Amino acid sequence: MKINVTRSSMPGFEEYIKEIEPLWESRWLTNMGEKHKELEGKLCDYLKVENVSLFTNGHLALEAAIASMGLSGEVITTPFTFASTTQAIVRNGLTPVFCDINPENYTIDVSKIEALITDKTCAIVPVHVYGNVCDVYGIEKIAKKYNLKVIYDAAHVFGVEFDERGIGGFGDASMFSFHATKVFNTIEGGCVTYGNDDLTKKLQIQKNFGMENAESYPEIAGNGKMNEFQAAMGLCNLRHVAGEIGKRKAAAEQYIERLEGIKGLTVWKPQDGVKHNYAYFPVLFDEKAFGKSRDEVAQMLGDNGIFARKYFYPLTSSFACYKGKFIIQSTPVAKKVAEQVLTLPLYADLTIDEVNSICDIILQ
């Protein structure tokens, strides 16, 4: 048996079949059908947000959220993220300005944002990382001071709450990913959460070819609609997500018990005041103190059929596709973390024995 870095959560086969059975009667397979509407409503309740707009994947959701704001100029973001974040900014014709991260939870370093603001700055796109929450109040304060939009990449924080508020309720909008590898999935999928009702129509236009109605196309846009089979999977998985998070928590706590305090290792710990989803388990390997590099540990695990991930590596600011197109800011903390981080396997079905086997190899 191989142990992958993640494994998709799925409902029972019969449960899913029962959920999709009405589609054979209605023949309504896409274009915001009944399953789509039902899932939007249930997600509003679960995420504790005012509005949810579903998309076929998280990347298109983020692109649409940015496009719906009518932005131009520069966007302050972090390079310690998945490719999607920066690509969504650039594909909207905006210039990414890279801010370093803090070494405590690997989210954007709020103390370094203001120095990057110019008269061209229009927005901040921070990233909640590994289930860790950004300094949302610090970001809000800066955004109000400079009249900037805030759009969160919340791909990693499904179900997370901070100060008893759903994390999707902060900022002007947040994008959640429902990719198969996430805590909650709709096979592929994603959504935008937001408070301003004016965004409802704008997001609808963005995910439906720029179409306002059958005879009016006020925007240039693509196709981002979630289909009914995806929504049905979401409805099933939402019933079980609390239990899945509980299983993830047990595995994460075992990792912490085995690896915390080991010289040369920086082990992920839950933030205070946050209701966590235990999405990932990152560990930093300091080669000098630990005796092995991150890459060597990854290789040893791989040799034993255990596949961890260098996530996030490399920094998006180093991508060849941006070379010569933008000024690339120095982000030394992000660079160091990217060179040391390894996310260990973590998913609901990961057993405590498997966690111990992984830890045994690391600690040899």
- Please write the tens of the pLDDT for every residue from 17-53: 999 999 999 999 999 999 999 999 999 999 999 999 9
Q: How would you list the strands of the sheet with 341-344, edge to edge?
A: 265-267, 281-285, 341-344
Distant-in-sequence, close-in-space partners of 116: CB < 8 Å, separation ≥ 6 = 76, 97, 99, 329
Average pLDDT, the chain: 97
Specify the DSSP element, H or E, that contains 60.
Answer: helix 58-68
Which class would CATH give 241-363? alpha beta
As a whole number of angstroms, the distance between CA 185 and CA 333 comes to 31
Question: What pLDDT is stored for residue 25 in this prediction?
Answer: 96
pLDDT at 201 over 90: yes
Whole-structure pTM value: 0.97
As a whole number of angstroms, the distance between CA 84 and CA 290 comes to 32
Question: What pLDDT is stored for residue 71 in this prediction?
Answer: 98
Question: What pLDDT is stored for residue 176 in this prediction?
Answer: 98
Structure tokens, 272:
């205070």
Q: In sequence order, what are the beta bridge partners of 344?
A: 281
Question: What pLDDT is stored for residue 260 in this prediction?
Answer: 97
CATH of domain 13-236: 3.40.640.10
pLDDT-derived band at 310, boundaries 50, 70, 90:
very high
Specify the DSSP element, H or E, that contains 161.
Answer: strand 161-162
Specify the DSSP element, H or E, that contains 342.
Answer: strand 341-344
Q: In sequence order, what are the beta bridge partners of 174?
A: 152, 193
Question: What pLDDT is stored for residue 276 in this prediction?
Answer: 98
Q: In sequence order, what are the beta bridge partners of 108?
A: 101
Instruction: Return residue ranges of the chain for CATH 3.90.1150.10.
Output: 241-363
Question: What pLDDT is stored for residue 142 in this prediction?
Answer: 98
Instruction: Give the burial class of 22: count Cβ atoms within 10 A of its Cβ; 0-12 exposed, 13-18 middle, 19 or more buried.
Output: middle
- % helix / strand / coil in the chain, to the nearest 5? 40, 15, 40
Instruction: Return residue ranges of the chain for CATH 3.40.640.10.
Output: 13-236
pLDDT-derived band at 245, boundaries 50, 70, 90:
very high
Structure tokens, 262:
């080991």
Mean pLDDT along residues 239-250: 98
Mean pLDDT along residues 50-62: 98
Structure tokens, 99:
């801010």
How far lies 70's CA from each of 64, 65, 94, 137, 224, in Å? 10, 10, 11, 24, 18
pLDDT at 1 over 90: no
Q: 38: how many CB neighbours lie within 10 A of its CB?
A: 14
Question: What pLDDT is stored for residue 191 in this prediction?
Answer: 98
Mind listing the pLDDT tens digit for each residue in 72-111? 999 999 999 999 999 999 999 999 999 999 999 999 999 9
Distant-in-sequence, close-in-space partners of 133: CB < 8 Å, separation ≥ 6 = 105, 107, 157, 160, 162, 167, 271, 274
